A and B are shown apart, each in its own frame.
Chain A
Amino acid sequence: MTFLKSISDIHLDILKEVGNIGAGHAATALSTLLNKKIDMKVPSVRVVSFDEVMDLAGGPDNVVASVFLRIEGDAPGSMFFILPLPQAEKYIGQLTKNQSFSFAEEQDNELALSALQELGNILSGSYLSSLSDFTKLSLYPSVPALSIDMVGAVISFGLLELSQVSDYAIVIDTALDEEEAQLPDSVNGHFFLLPDPDSFHIIFSALGVRIDA
């Protein structure tokens, strides 16, 4: 974990602010889109093992809806917008005016999946563009891809770049919460930002902080 040795608390605080600004804009976008009040938790930045990354999203065999995109440009990385299935069903219902939508019965409903993909597209796009404004870095999102599957299978794909230099990841995690949501479990929507290893010093230096090697 050599690249992690030079990361201090100050650096982690900066990454927290990065998550704060990005996810704040995404939460506003979600709120506008659904015309609902959306709460955002204070982002957390953690240095965790790959297995712990899975646990942050409910464990490796927890089935979730996830929108994944690659960040290209000055500071490449991976980004996930992850929703528990009941919450994803609810959002699809609101966006497509089909309140009874369920993944179990309509797993091939193209309109529903497309609506969810577009939701992920809008949210991660607003996350990234605010990050780009803030850091003055060019960051381009790839077309997002949607998957309804196990957390482990989905997130391990975003860990591939990091896995070449380390067994640990720095995860910038922000949870979103619909204020009046009465969902049985407390797992909410999550944004995971996983910068590629070489992107950390680019982000820090864009914000005027050096990493002493």
Chain B
Amino acid sequence: MHKTAEIIKVGIADMNIVMVPDLIRTTGLGSCVGVVLYDQVREIAGMAHIMLPDSSLSRAEPLNKAKFANTAIKELLNALVKTGARPAGIKAKIAGGAQMFQFAGSNDMMRIGTRNVEAVLQELKELRIPVIAQDVGGNSGRTIEFNPKTGLMQIKTVNKGNSEI
């Protein structure tokens, strides 16, 4: 009665939750930040693919909470706890926030990767979730996959190969 492991996908501005033996993956993070919250004892993990730092930037109704650092992480935390994670056992790993293009322009959107990372770290700090590992910045796209069993995040980049945090 072995269940085959599936890979749960998380799209852009999207979030999802996964339990052992399944894995969770998001593809092609550029300036976006992939945030994983996990409880390794209960073997549950959630992932969000965050595009923008703050929901005050939104002029859309209804608000897509998964899109913004300040709303996505709270939402993910609530969903994890509802699924059975222990609030005190939840930890975080993050990756992404690259600057894919070099422009001389002064447009604030040009450094959105850095702003996303800052907003994610700030939100995690406020929610008292420890950040166990991070792979952020640079100028390469990343694909990340998290295994709730091992608590490890695999990171693939085009130019620099694979790593694990």
Residues of A in contact with B (beta carbons under 8 Å apart): 1-2, 49-51, 54, 59-61, 63, 68, 70, 107, 142-143, 145, 147-154, 156-157, 159-161, 163-167
Contacts and interface: CB of A to CB of B under 8 A. Distances in A.
Given A148-B158, A150-B143, A165-B58, 15 more contacts: A2-B61, A61-B143, A68-B101, A145-B101, A149-B140, A149-B141, A152-B28, A153-B29, A154-B30, A156-B12, A156-B31, A159-B51, A160-B109, A161-B109, A165-B60
B52 interface: yes
A154 B60 contact: no
Nearest to B96: A153
Interface of B: 11-14, 27-32, 51-52, 57-61, 64, 67, 98, 100-105, 107, 109, 112, 139-143, 158-159
Contacts, number: 106
B12 A54 contact: yes
> Can you list the 4 inter-chain pairs with the closest CB atoms, starting with the nearest?
A152-B28, A153-B141, A153-B30, A60-B28
A151 B12 CA distance: 12
A149 B100 contact: yes
Instruction: Determine chain B's interface SS by DSSP, over half rule.
Output: loop
Residue of B29, B30, B52, B64 with most partner-chain A CB within 10 A: B30
Contact of B32 (A51, A142, A145, A156): A156
